[in-house]
Structure 1
Amino acid sequence: MTARAAHDVVAYDPSSFEGLQFHRAVDAFRSGTDTPRDYLERCLATIAEREPVVRAWAFLDEEGARRQADSSTGRWRDGRALSPVDGMPIGVKDVVETKDMPTEYGCAAFSGNFPRRDNAAVAALRQAGAVIVGKTTTAELGGPQPPATTNPFHSGHTPGGSSSGSGAAVGAQMVPACFATQSASSLLRPASFNGNWGLKPSQGAVNRGERQAGSTAAHGAVAACPEDMWHVAIAMAGRAGGDPGWPALRGPGDLPPAHRPFTVAVMETEGWPDLDPASHEAFEQVVEQVRAHGVTVLRREDAPVERFERALVGATALTTSLLAWEYSWAFRPVYEANPQGVSERGRQFFLDRADEMGPAGYEAALQEQNVVKQAYVAVSGRVDAVLSPASAGPAPAWDPDVPAAAGVTWPTGNPAFGTVSSLLGAPAVNAPLMSVRGLPYGVQVMGRHGDDARVTAIAHWLREIVTPVVL
C-alpha cells in the first residue's frame, strides 16, 4: 500500500454522516446571518484541506467562483434569489463544455481543449444562480480508465466512475452537489461508493447539449441530500428542457413528498453473485424493513421478475457494446490524430470493441436491448418501483499509483447494477442507506420512464422509514 493509500481513512456511518446541505443555509442567507460568499469560502477551505489526497478536481476557478458568490450574496440580500440553487457551489464533470474553463474529458489527447462555450445544462445552472466552482475529474472519455481520484472515506479504494470527481467532491464535503452524467453506471456507482444521493433521470429528461453521441447517456446530479439533488436536477431541466425530441424532467420545485409504494420488485441482475455476504445481508435488511411497512415485495419466484432477470443476463456487455459503437465515431478522429493520448484500456473499450461489432453487430445489440425493455414493461406495470443494490457492494480497493493494477477489467467497480437503468432509459435514484466495512453502499430505486418525481418520492420515503444498516 502506498503512503497516500495508507491514510485518510474515515469510517462511514449513514446514520450519522452529514455532508453539506445547501437547502438548510438559505434561511440564513435571507436573514443576513450567512452569505453565499461565506458559504463558498468554507467549501474552498475544505477543498484546500482534502484535495491533495482525494484529487476530485480537474480544474478549479476560485476567483470566478468568488465573483459568482458575491453576485448571489447581493441577490439574497435584496430578496431577488433566482432559484433554490442560487449561490450553491457546484462542481461540473469534465465531460461537458464550460465557457470559462477547459474541457479535457480526463484524456491526454484533449489536454488544453477550451471550447469557450457552455453545455446547455451548465448554462441552465448559471441562469439559476449556481456557483460553478470548477470541473470535477472523470474517467478517460467517460470510459473505464480511471483518474487519480481516491475515495474520500478510504484513499486506498476507488470513488467509482466515470463521475469520479463529482461523487468524491460531495462525499468529501467539498461542495453540496455536483453535476454528473451516466451512460452505463457512471453516476449511480460513484453515488453509492461516496455516500451521495444521486438522480440518474429518465433518458432525454435533461438537455445534454453537445453530448448527444450516446443513446443511453443522461445528465443528472449527485448531492449530500435529496433536497439539493432534486433542486439541481429541476434547475437544469426547467431552464434547458430535455434532449431534442424528449420531454423535460417534470415535478415540483422542491423535493417530492415521501411516497410509500404499494408493491416493489427486487432486481438482482447478473451482479448478484458478486455481492459479498455482508453486502448481501445489508441489502436484505433494507428489503425487510420495506416489507415491514406493509409493502408487497416481488422476487425472482414471481414469473415477470424471473423473465426480466433472464433478459438481463449479459446486460453489462450489451450496454458497453452499444456505447462503444456510438462513441467510437466521436473518439476515433481524436485517437487517429493523437494515438498516444488515449490509454490502451480506452482504445480497447471504445475502438476495438466497435471494430469487432460493425453495423450488423450494433443492430443486433439494439434488438437485444428491445427484448430487455419489453421484459421490463411486464415488471414495471405491476410495481411502483424496482429496488436493488446500486453497486456490487462498497468501493473495491484500487490504487492508480500501482502499475500492476492496470490489468483490472473494472478498476472503478463492477457496473452491473447501475447499468440497467441506462439500458432501459429509466430514472433511478441512489439512496445512501448502508455501510459495509466502513464504506458507503447505496440502495437503487428505479421506475418507469418519466416517473422521475415518483421514484424520487419513494427514495425520500426510504430515508424516512429505513434505519440505516451498518455491517
Structure 2
Amino acid sequence: MTSQTYDPQTTRLRAFHTRVSAFLDGSDTPRAYLERCLEEIDRREGEVQAFVTLNVEGARKAADASTERYAAGKPLSEIDGMPFGIKDLFETEDMPTQCGSPIFKDNHTGRDCALIAGLREAGAIILGKTVTTEFAFYNPGPTRNPFDTARTPGGSSSGSGAAVGAGFVPVAIGSQVVGSLIRPSSYNANYGFKPSFGAINREGAYSNLSQTALGTHAASLTDAWIAARVAAKFAGGDPGYIGLTGDVALPDSVQPARLARLDSAGWGKTPTAIRAKFEALLDKLTTAGAEISTNSESARLEGFEQIMAPALDVTNAICGYEFLWPLKYYYRRDPSSISKNIADRLADWEQITTEQYAVLLDERNAMRAAHDALSDEFSAFITLSATGPAPEGHDWTGDPIYAVNSSILGAPAINLPLLEAEGMPLGIQLIGYPRKDRELFAYARWILDVLGLPR
C-alpha cells in the first residue's frame, strides 16, 4: 500500500490555469500538459484505479487541436486544452456509460450528454470516465485513496476525487445527491465545488433525482470555478434554471461580513482532535478580522441547527423514494446484478408511501425557508466537510453527515483542503445561498489569502 503525508501548506496538485500563459506564449502546450498527466496515470493508476475507461488516442487528438489554437492565439474558451475526468454517470459518445453497475456493462449510447457536449465545444479534453459507486449510491468501487491506498477515496464520485488528488487531471466532473462531491473532495485534497441546484445541465446524466447537482473536483480554487462556470456557459443550466452566472474569472477576494459556524448533526460524530483542528482554523480567521457566530450566540442559528438535524435521514428517504422505479425494474430483471447493499435499501425504500414522501418534501422546504431567512444575518456558513480523514478500508465511502446540508438546501458549497489529520487531507466547507455561487468563491478566496495559500 502506498502512503504519502499531506500538508496543506506544501502539497500542490496538478493545476491547469497556472499554465495558460505558457500555452499562449508557446513555452508550454496543451499536448505537453496532457502527456504529463498520462505519465502520472501510467505511474499510479494501477494502484489508485480512478478510471473505468480512458480514451488516450482521442485525448491526444484533442490536445493537438488545442495546441494549434493557442499557437494561433485563438483558444475556444478559458478551459481550452484542459483534460477532464468524467464521472461514469454521464453519457459520452466515445466511451461507455456504466454507472458502477454490471447492468450497464458496455452501455454505449452513442451520444454526449449536455455537459460533455458543452465541454467539447469549449475545447476541453475528455480523457476518461472515472469510477462511481453503484448507481452513485453507497456500494464502493475499486478506487483507492491516492494519499493512502489503504483508505477509501470517498464516494460516490470516488474516481473523480482520486484522479484529481493523484494529479492525473486538473479537474474531474462529479455529482452530489447526499455528499458525493464534498466528502471525496475532503478525503482527496480537492477544491470541490457543489453548485446551486440546477446550475449545470443534467440532461443525459444517469442521476436525475431532485437533489442531484453536478460539480467540479479541482486542483485549485481557480480551476474549480472556471471549469464549472464555462461548463454552464456552454451547456446551460437545468430546464427552468439559468445556470451559473457572473464573470468566468475567479472573483476578487471579499471578506464575509459575518459567517455562521454550522455544527449540525455532524459535530456529535466528530472526534475531539478534529474539533480542535477546526476551531484552531476558525481562530486564525477571527484574528484576521472575520466575525464568526455560533449557535450559542444566535437564537436564529440555533433554531436552524435544530431544523437541520434530520437532514441526512430526510435526504436518504427522499432519494430512496425517487429511485424506486428504475431500481425495482433492475431487481426484477436480474436480482443478482444488484448488490446486497442496494437490495437491502430497496426493501426499506419500498415501504415509503406517497403520503410520507409529501411530508418529507415539506420538511425539506422548511429547511430551505429557514436557511433563506438567515441571509440577512450571515454571508455564508462555515463547517467541516467530513468527520475526519478518509476511513481505513474499502468497504464503505465514509459518513456524509456534513456534506448533506448543502444538498438538501440546494445551496452552493465549496470544500477547501485546509486541514491535515493522521497525515491525510481534511477539508473545511463553505455553504452559501442558492444562486450566490460566485459570492461564495469570493469568500473562499479571502480565506486562502488570509492563510497565505495559492488559489
Question: 2:110 aligned with 1:125, yes or no?
Answer: no
Partner of 2:96: 102
Shift of 1:332: 2.5
Q: TM-score, normalised by structure 1?
A: 0.94
Shift of 1:457: 1.0
2:181 to 176, 187, 195: 187
**Take 2:419 and 2:399, find their aligned partners in 1: how far apart are those partners?**
18
Question: Are the aligned partners of 1:91 and 1:132 in contact in 2 as well (CA < 8 Å)?
Answer: yes
Using the TM superposition, name which of 125-134 and 332-341 deviates more: 332-341
Q: Deviations over 1:21-67 (max 9, x none)?
A: 11011111112121111111110110011111111001111111111
1:65 is aligned with what amino acid? A
Partner of 1:430: 415
Partner of 1:420: 405
Partner of 2:432: 447
* Alignment of structure 1 residues 13-412 onto 2, 5 Å: 13-211=7-205, 213-301=208-296, 302-349=298-345, 351-400=346-395, 411-412=396-397
Question: Are the aligned partners of 1:369 and 1:423 in contact in 2 as well (CA < 8 Å)?
Answer: yes
Q: TM-score, normalised by structure 2?
A: 0.97
Question: Are the aligned partners of 1:167 and 1:194 in contact in 2 as well (CA < 8 Å)?
Answer: yes
**Take 1:228 and 1:330, find their aligned partners in 2: how far apart are those partners?**
35
Shift of 1:467: 6.1
Q: Which runs of 5+ in 1 are unaligned?
A: 1-6, 401-410
Question: Are the aligned partners of 1:58 and 1:134 in contact in 2 as well (CA < 8 Å)?
Answer: yes
1:83 is aligned with what amino acid? S
Q: Deviations over 1:100-153 (max 9, x none)?
A: 100000111111111111111111111110101000000110000011111110
Using the TM superposition, name which of 337-346 and 125-134 deviates more: 337-346
1:310 is aligned with what amino acid? Q
**Take 2:386 and 2:51, find their aligned partners in 1: how far apart are those partners?**
23
Q: Deviations over 1:366-388 (max 9, x none)?
A: 11112212221233331001000
1:422 is aligned with what amino acid? S
**Take 1:147 and 1:457, find their aligned partners in 2: how far apart are those partners?**
35
1:245 is aligned with what amino acid? G
1:167 is aligned with what amino acid? G
Question: Are the aligned partners of 2:140 and 2:394 in contact in 1 as well (CA < 8 Å)?
Answer: no
Q: Deviations over 1:147-169 (max 9, x none)?
A: 11111101111111000000000
2:10 is aligned with what amino acid? S
What percentage of aligned pairs have identical amino acids? 40
Q: Secondary structure at 2:416's aligned position in 1?
A: strand
**Take 2:161 and 2:23, find their aligned partners in 1: how far apart are those partners?**
26
- TM-align CA RMSD: 1.2
Q: Tell me the number of residue pairs that the alignment of Structure 1 and Structure 2 aligns.
A: 451
Question: Are the aligned partners of 2:211 and 2:407 in contact in 1 as well (CA < 8 Å)?
Answer: yes
Q: Which runs of 5+ in 2 are unaligned?
A: none
Question: Are the aligned partners of 1:304 and 1:378 in contact in 2 as well (CA < 8 Å)?
Answer: no
